[in-house]
Amino acid sequence: MGIWVSFFAVIALVLIPSVGAQGAGQYIFGIFIPYVAVLIFVIGFIYRVVQWGKTPVPFKIPTTGGQMKSLPWIKWNPLDNPATTGGVVGRMALEVLAFRSLFRNTRVELRDGPRVSYGSNKWLWVAALAFHYAFLVVFLRHFRLFMEPVPGFVGLLESVDGFMEVGLPRLMISGVVLLLAALYLFLRRVAVPQLRYISFAADYFPLFLIIALAGSGLLMRYFIRVDITSVKELITGLVSLRPTIPEGIGVIFFVHLFLLSVLIAYFPFSKLMHAGGVFMSPTRNMANDNRQNRHINPWNYPVKVHTYAEYEDEFREKMKEVGLPVEKE
């Protein structure tokens, strides 16, 4: 059920600007909605991070995958079980840049017998890595639209991204990889029964939204051409807070911009927020130095207790009446 709700929701999001971005409606979809989306993103992102930061973590609870530092003659794993700040930084860097925990992920299957079988699950790691880095490259390439002069790294990135020199305009590998990786993550969620069983609309919606966003971008670049000069004028006006709607921008661009605005506004309240949450996770950002230091809960406060001796003093006669043993006669 969740898959169809998400699918038709994204179809509706595509149709809304297709119908509404006409005449005066272009000001709504080209100026008002993007500003509102960015405002929601900033406020929502800060709110989520502050809420996570305020959550008390009284104990050391890092998730580890290697030998803890202990005796000198026991080999210690400084990245999978860091005991220093440097180790935590290295572990976080591998997690953020290379998805190390996902690389170590395995799949579990029941086979003939039945018996439990464990196997490698590297395809998920490859798809996730390709998806995130392709998204990053596409994002950086868009700097050309709102920065003047265009930074040198953008031109270099475009040269590497389009090194195959296929088609005119050149085929950018990142856009295709982004779309294919998103499709793989969606098909995997549908094809694997265990994943399909635990998937909800909140899992399908961002995938459909990103697929539609990438698809509309590819359509604009290779099939339904738009006036890139007018697009750059609009984007530059938005960034410089001097918005204007130039003539000659096609509806497909407003569809693309509206889908991007929805994604930006939806980001802080969705599972996509793991981009910021990974840095706030105590299972990742803590050093596992329990054997080196004693950690005392800083939120401990005096608690009135009722000891057994006090309990027996209060109920001794009644306990003796029903035959319960007592320490004092």
Amino acid at 315: F
CATH superfamily of 2-321: Transmembrane di-heme cytochromes, Chain C (1.20.950.20)
Q: What are the boundaries of each domain within the chain?
A: 2-321
d(CA 107, CA 282): 25
d(CA 287, CA 284): 8
Per-residue model confidence (pLDDT) at position 291:
83
Per-residue model confidence (pLDDT) at position 113:
67
Q: Report mean pLDDT in 10-residue bins for the chain, 329 residues.
A: 90 93 87 96 95 86 88 90 92 92 81 74 91 94 86 87 76 92 94 88 94 93 86 91 87 94 95 90 89 80 86 88 83
Per-residue model confidence (pLDDT) at position 151:
84
Contact 10, 208 (CB under 8 A): yes
| pTM, 2 dp | 0.85
d(CA 87, CA 93): 10
DSSP category for residue 50: H
Per-residue model confidence (pLDDT) at position 148:
79
| Burial class for 121, CB neighbours closer than 10 Å (0-12, 13-18, 19+) | middle
Per-residue model confidence (pLDDT) at position 276:
87
Tokens read off for 186? 């969606």
Phi, psi of 43 (to 5 degrees): -65, -45
d(CA 258, CA 48): 24
